[in-house]
Amino acid sequence: MRLTKRNLGWPEDKEFFVPEEALQYFRQFVEERKLAEVKWQETLTAYKKAFPELAHEWERVIRGTLPADWDQDIPQFDPDESPMATRVASGKVLNAVASRLPELIGGSADLAPSNNTYLKEHGDFERESYQNRNLHFGIREHAMGATISGMALHGGVRPFGGTFLVFSDYMRPAVRLSSLMRLPAIYVFTHDSVGLGEDGPTHQSIEQLASLRAIPHLTLIRPGDANETAVAWRVALENRVGPVALILTRQGLPILDRSVFPPASDLQKGAYIIGPETGKLEAIIIATGSEVHIALEAWRKLSSDGFGLRLVNMPSWELFEAQDQGFKNAVLPPEVKVRVAVEAGSPLGWERYVGEEGRVIGINTFGASAPGKVVLENYGFTVENIIANVKALMK
């Protein structure tokens, strides 16, 4: 690069002096870079000739694109299966795609058995075992987040890291910087609500969803069942414009029968109508994650009583906001003011979707030590409470 007053930001009417030593260092640096580039291209050309298939794979990974068949082994979960925690479904999906994505590497902040982030057939990454792909970060959430960011920034690998959602606080600076740089990092945050149970208030996340949603360019996805979790992983792996956080349950959730309900692929739109109204639309319930199933029962009962009620599953605010206004208005018609949002966390931010006349069934205090089902019921996450709130608004 030629040194001028303009590209140095120096006023045109001012004199400036560049020491000869500095100019010599700069010339030497440029020359060394040129020589290194020539040597690299020669090495790469020889490698392509000797190992064409490996070279093609290397180029794909460096570009950050996915192979054509990468998703062939993603499981489909049967609604007749027992209730499955979305963290368990996540582990099954992660292991299913790992063999087709050699660039996929990651681990957990000492919580791999709980996060279900261990790649079962790919060993531990350690000295003299650099081909392996499981990283053991230890109880170092911030260091894990920073490491993942560095790997994503370098390229050639697709990093992920897991911990409990409540511990996302420890790694928030790293998450924020990865969002600032729009790095394709993937965070696996499990134990996502008071539904985790007896571990109590120290582990039960309350404000973390709202806090993470406030970070620009970070996409949160809170799937409502196993098949939505599979789609969430698809979204995360196909995304290249910023980090994605998967928000997953500890407790088992029923697997929805997709021959009755819309396909799980609708998760990609951020929100979709999972329970349509019969007759004139009078009210809307919006729910996320594990609360979708409670809201579904409330929708069934109110609909059978003749209420014109719609249930909207909203696994991702960010994906929903990326849709065009026509789609958003079709899901949440502006003229329908009776709205109840249901999410086991801080209600902060939900006013965007329920408006001034709506209500949010959320949590404005810390959790409690008790079985998950008991805690959820104690905080109002029941069919009866949802029905009561809808009816109160409709009056």
Cβ burial of 40 (10 Å; 0-12, 13-18, 19+) is: exposed
Catalytic annotation, pick one of 141, 277, 291, 318: 141
Are residues 275 and 309 in contact, defined by beta-carbon separation less than 8 angstroms?
Answer: yes
φ, ψ of residue 163 to 5 degrees: the values are: -165, 180
Structure tokens at 375: 């805690």
Instruction: Taking each helix axis as running N to C, give the angle between helix 226-238 and helix 86-98, from 0 to 180 degrees, rounded to the nearest 10.
Output: 50
Q: How many residues are given for the chain?
A: 395
SS3 assignment, position 121: coil
DSSP 251: S
Q: How many CB atoms lie within 10 A of CB 279?
A: 10
Q: How many CB atoms lie within 10 A of CB 122?
A: 17
Q: Give the HSE-up count for residue 200: Cα atoms under 13 Å, Cβ half-sphere.
A: 2
With a CB cutoff of 8 Å and minimum separation 6, the contacts of 194 are 204, 206, 344, 363, 367, 368, 372, 375, 376, 379
Q: Shortest CA distance to 94 belongs to which of 86, 34, 221?
A: 86
Q: Shortest CA distance to 363 belongs to which of 383, 378, 384?
A: 378
**Chain centre distance of CA 5:** 46
String of DSSP letters for 33-71: HHHHHHHHHHHHHHHHHH-HHHHHHHHHHHHTPPPTTTT
Structure tokens at 335: 């003229």
Q: Shortest CA distance to 158 belongs to which of 86, 72, 98?
A: 98
Catalytic residue check, 141: yes
φ, ψ of residue 324 to 5 degrees: the values are: -75, 160
Active site residue ranges: 141
